[in-house]
């Protein structure tokens, strides 16, 4: 694929063509393969009433559960120009699920510097990302906003993971640590309120190829896990209580898996 034209573009402009240009493939894995087991644990922080509550929320709920269901209701019924409701719900949910711990923060609309094709003025802007201080980007999240969209959130979130690799190694260099040759960056894309989970392996070879507009010899294989819907409706999301419970089990498994990834590159 050396004949493909590669140009300096920000992460938000990445498409499936850019994945081909840099020898990146995406493979779907089963639950057992992706997580190593079938997720079956509801996070302890979840109010049992949240598992079965309908939207819009009823008045007999706790304040915290009522508030989260309000966010879910807004994200489920998003109108054009109000897509930020999906970002708001995702951030509230990840905070509740304890992705954000002491020393880490969930940041909205965070632009990660992205060196591509010799151009250091580009960036990969996440919808959400989890950062440790100013030193390490741990997790990147990209919402697709709608069920049917011309944009490719997978290509965008992969660009964000590559930018995170560059950022993390630059931070290591600033404090006198050797750069790492590889990092597995956990990532999430969301179609409405339905998440898809990823493990994105980023190597120095891939980063160098993108920096110099070259086709890397080694293929990068991204793996993903899709939460199977409980019905045949394309638009099903967390407004459906049965599906909500499945999603929460997946989030808990993903949080644990992500922490295992972070142990290898966190400063």
Per-residue pLDDT of the chain (267 residues), as tens digits, is: 557 889 999 999 999 999 999 999 999 999 999 999 999 999 999 999 999 999 999 989 999 999 999 999 999 987 655 678 899 999 999 999 999 999 999 999 999 999 999 999 999 999 999 999 888 999 999 987 555 455 679 999 999 999 999 999 999 999 999 999 999 999 999 988 999 999 999 999 999 999 999 999 999 999 999 998 777 666 779 999 999 999 999 999 999 999 999 999 999
Q: Tell me whether residue 86 is in a domain.
A: yes
Q: Tell me whether residue 129 is in a domain.
A: yes
**Residue 237 CB burial class (10 angstroms; 0-12, 13-18, ≥19):** buried
Q: Tell me whether residue 204 is in a domain.
A: yes
What distance in Å separates the CA atoms of residue 211 and residue 218, rounded to the nearest whole number? 16
Q: Which residues contact 3 (CB under 8 A, 6 or more apart)?
A: none
Domain of 101, in residue numbers: 11-34+47-262
What DSSP state is assigned to residue 242? H
Q: Tell me whether residue 42 is in a domain.
A: no
Q: What pLDDT sits at residue 77?
A: 85
Q: Tell me whether residue 65 is in a domain.
A: yes
Strands 182-191 and 136-143 turn out to be parallel
Q: What pLDDT sits at residue 3?
A: 73
Give the chain's domain count.
1
Q: What pLDDT sits at residue 230?
A: 73
Q: What pLDDT sits at residue 15?
A: 95
Q: What pLDDT sits at residue 148?
A: 47
Q: Tell me whether residue 120 is in a domain.
A: yes
Residue with tokens 């992460």, as numbered in its chain? 11
Q: Tell me whether residue 110 is in a domain.
A: yes
Q: What pLDDT sits at residue 188?
A: 98
**Residue 245 CB burial class (10 angstroms; 0-12, 13-18, ≥19):** middle
Q: Tell me whether residue 4 is in a domain.
A: no
């Amino acid at each position: 694929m050396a004949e493909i034209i590669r140009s300096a573009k920000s992460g938000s402009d990445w498409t499936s063509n850019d994945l081909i240009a840099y020898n990146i493939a995406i493979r779907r894995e089963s639950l057992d393969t992706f997580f190593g087991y079938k997720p079956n644990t509801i996070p302890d922080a979840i109010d049992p009433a949240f598992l079965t509550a309908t939207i819009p929320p009823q008045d007999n709920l706790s304040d915290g559960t009522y508030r989260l269901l309000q966010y879910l209701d807004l994200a489920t019924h998003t109108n054009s120009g109000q897509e930020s409701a999906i970002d708001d719900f995702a951030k509230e949910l990840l905070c509740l699920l304890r992705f954000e711990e002491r020393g880490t923060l969930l940041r909205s609309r965070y632009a990660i510097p992205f060196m591509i094709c010799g151009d250091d003025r580009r960036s990969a802007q996440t919808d959400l990302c989890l950062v440790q201080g100013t030193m390490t980007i741990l997790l990147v999240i990209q919402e697709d906003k709608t069920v049917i969209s011309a944009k490719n959130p997978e290509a965008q979130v992969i660009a964000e993971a590559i930018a995170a690799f560059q950022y993390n190694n630059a931070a290591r260099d600033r404090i006198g640590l050797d750069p790492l040759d590889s990092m597995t960056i956990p990532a999430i894309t969301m179609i409405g309120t339905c998440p898809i989970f990823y493990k994105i392996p980023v190597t120095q070879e891939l980063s160098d190829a993108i920096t110099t507009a070259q086709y890397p010899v080694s293929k990068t294989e991204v793996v993903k896990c899709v939460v199977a819907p409980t019905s045949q409706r394309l638009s099903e999301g967390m407004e459906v209580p049965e599906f909500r419970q499945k999603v929460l089990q997946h989030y808990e498994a993903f949080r644990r898996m992500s922490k295992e990834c972070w142990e290898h590159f966190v400063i």
